[in-house]
Structure 1
Amino acid sequence: MALSGAAQAQATPASSSQACRMDEVVLSGPSVSARFSVELADDAGERALGLMNRPEMAQSHGMLFVYDTSGPVAFWMANTLIPLDMIFVDRRGVITKVHERAVPLDRTPISGGNAVFAVLEINGGLAGAMGISVGDVLRHPAFGPEAADPCD
């Protein structure tokens, strides 16, 4: 199992015509166009640590958890001090589930489903405030050429 007070979103408007960067995720959809600076958690150790023990995170930042293959994923909030929104994503970068305002320090598993390839964690409340929803797309090099919005 992976371990891991929103105000107005400070994410910058996004344009998919810009080059992809490993430290950045671009979200797009009918109601959202945003960019987040991200820390990448792409190995077991980084995914286990996640955002634990951090007292705050900038509004325009997040953490992108990337797995080697798609599969079932569940997160919990043990040792996580800030409320988070968890955005579960399939292999193509399409959002399949949004869990809003995960409760700090709660050990209840939060399932993302059976075909999760990546999870974007952002400050709690931002997903709703920004209109991020199922079907929207994340753009990042991790999604490869089969991505719904591939990198150039």
Structure 2
Amino acid sequence: MLRGVLALALLTPGLATVAAAYDAAAPNAGVAQTGLATVPLTIQTATGKHRYTVEVAASPQAQETGLMYRRSMPANHGMIFPFSTSRVLTFWMENTWLPLDLVFIGEDGKVVSIAANAKPMSRDIISSQVPARAVLELNGGEAARIGLRPGDKVTYKLPK
């Protein structure tokens, strides 16, 4: 599955060993990815509708790098990691310079859990705790700024 493992490494059961075996000599190691499709995304919270432009990390290769190696991300931007099935998801922040909020989204598009201000460059495991179908990465502190809570609705449409 993953060599460098996401901006936050996705570690699914049985793949933790693969994720840990990051190959620093891999093509694009140390380089932020560009050129991903973007889509509009809306989060409905008690404070209103909040609109974002998010990059779509749909392929295993895009998920492998995610937001690694980026030094900044514009306000109201992020990255969505959609998965084909729901499961407990785990990530880490290795090679990710930005503090990020990880928003875990369930099958029904509702927020199931939030990991706020994930520590940059950390190998600490960040878990959704419950099954999730997608993960949205936003700038650290954004979830608190908009009053995001589990149960809030996230709406987006993936490109074909």
TM-score class, shorter-chain normalisation, is: 0.7 to 0.9
Unpaired segments of 5 or more residues in structure 2?
A: 8-37
Across the aligned residues of Structure 1 and Structure 2, the Cα RMSD in angstroms comes to 1.6
Does structure 2 retain, via aligned residues, the 8 Å contact 1:43–1:67? no
Partner letter of residue 103 of structure 1?
K
Distance (Å, rounded) in 2 between the aligned partners of 1:32 and 1:76: 30
Question: Does the alignment pair 1:110 with 2:126?
Answer: yes
1:52-102 C-alpha deviation (Å, 9 max, x unpaired): 000000011000000011112111000000100000000111000011100
Instruction: List structure 1 segments (4+ residues) > 4 angstroms apart after TM superposition.
Output: none
Relative contact order higher in (CA < 8 Å, ≥ 6 apart): 1
Match of 1:89 in 2: 105
Deviation of 1:116 after TM superposition, in Å, equals 0.8
Distance (Å, rounded) in 1 between the aligned partners of 2:82 and 2:124: 21
Deviation of 1:24 after TM superposition, in Å, equals 1.1
Question: Does the alignment pair 1:30 with 2:33?
Answer: no
Match of 1:63 in 2: 79
Distance (Å, rounded) in 2 between the aligned partners of 1:47 and 1:137: 23
Q: Secondary structure at the match of 1:78?
A: coil
Match of 2:138 in 1: 122
Match of 2:6 in 1: 3
> TM-score normalized by structure 1?
0.78
Unpaired segments of 5 or more residues in structure 1?
A: 5-21, 143-152
What is the total number of aligned residue pairs between the two structures? 126
Deviation of 1:114 after TM superposition, in Å, equals 3.5
Match of 2:149 in 1: 133
Q: Secondary structure at the match of 1:23?
A: strand
Match of 1:41 in 2: 57
> TM-score normalized by structure 2?
0.74
1:18-43 C-alpha deviation (Å, 9 max, x unpaired): xxxx6111000323410110000112
